[in-house]
Amino acid sequence: MTRRERLKRCYFNQELDRPAVYSRASFPADDSTYDQLKSYLNAYTELKIALNVSEFESEYLIEVKMENYSEDFERRIDILKTPKGDLYRSTMVSLKGQPGMHEKYFVNCAEDAEKYLSLPIPVLNGNVLANFNVLDAEIGDKGIVDIRLGSNPGGFIADMCGSENFAIMSITDRDILHKLCERQMNIILQRVQFVLDAGVGPFFSMLGEEYIVPPLHGLNDFNDFNVKYDKPIIDLVHDAQGRMHIHSHGSIKSVFQGFIDMGADVLHPFEPPPQGNITAAEAKALAGGRMCLEGNIQINRLYEETPDVIRQETEQLIADAFGDSKGLIVCPTASPYIRGQGEICFPQYKAMIDTVINWNK
């Protein structure tokens, strides 16, 4: 079975010769310590190569200003021009290679939301099929082309408001949040149709549901802002015989059924405590043969533990989630992320990968 066929069988929930094994690959930039890991992933794991549909979409006019702030950060101010007035977002940008910090968001109140709603719907243009064919030829039998639709409607709007402000507005201005989510749903439906009309598929992905999960939000909000607006998108993909991958961190046990209800075909990363609240065995039982699981080796453990520990965790994951010989992609919960420590994590990654590819029924 080729790596491409194995991933396809995962997405379509068909029987496998062994679990697939995959890693997200947003490595620290310009870090040669990860060269050995990159080579091993390319040689032995199932691969995904991204086609970002939003790159074919017209962009809104955003003016950018930079301000001095401190010896560690500078402030970036984004000014989004709308027919009803300007919206402002500010972030702290590290001057020393560290993560940035959000300071102010575009939408902070109903008035801001009305400004954003006045923007025209983006237009899609370009030869997406030609781009897809190039990527498909590049990946070959090593994996699949992942057609990335971006953040789901609820996650996109929550990110535009900021998590805390979105939670407050879900009480004070819920109706306008629904208007924003509906607008973004229509934009993503347009992306899907653009791709389908070009004859591109069948592997799609979204992310962002994690913004609206416990403990900040409960089951009602998950269904109201995630399931409600994701399901029409996933239905359109399914109607074209496509499949949908969903990425969502967080404590998802109480909302797990929602991922099934929206139609997710693959779910990453279903984390156990302390980062989440669901074990692999629980996730497999709840999935009930309706959804492939992708996970759930915690990324920090690949830096902190020994190869033997990772080998044992991988064996246990397979035992817990592959009893039916279907629906498991062994995968870390995130991309390699610590600058300069690629050689430290490599033995653990290798132990995870080797355990999967040498697995026998």
User: Nearest to residue 248, comparing CAs of 208, 294, 215?
Assistant: 208
Contact 20, 7 (CB under 8 A): yes
How distant, in Å, are the alpha carbons of 324, 332, 345 from that of 310? 23, 11, 11
pLDDT computed for residue 184 by the predictor: 98
Determine how many CB atoms are found less than 10 A away from the CB of residue 133.
14
At residue 352, does pLDDT exceed 90? yes
- Convert the pLDDT of each residue in 170-197 to its tens digit: 999 999 999 999 999 999 999 999 999 9
Mean pLDDT for the chain? 96
How distant, in Å, are the alpha carbons of 25, 122, 263, 350 from that of 54? 20, 10, 22, 34
- Convert the pLDDT of each residue in 288-308 to its tens digit: 999 999 999 999 999 999 999
At residue 33, does pLDDT exceed 80? yes
At residue 277, does pLDDT exceed 90? yes
The share of the chain scoring above pLDDT 90, in percent, equals 97
- Convert the pLDDT of each residue in 57-85 to its tens digit: 999 999 999 999 999 999 999 999 999 99
pLDDT computed for residue 360 by the predictor: 86
pLDDT computed for residue 333 by the predictor: 96
| Residue 20 bridge partners (DSSP) | 329
Contact 153, 188 (CB under 8 A): yes
How distant, in Å, are the alpha carbons of 4, 16, 41, 148, 174 from that of 142? 5, 16, 10, 18, 45
pLDDT computed for residue 97 by the predictor: 75
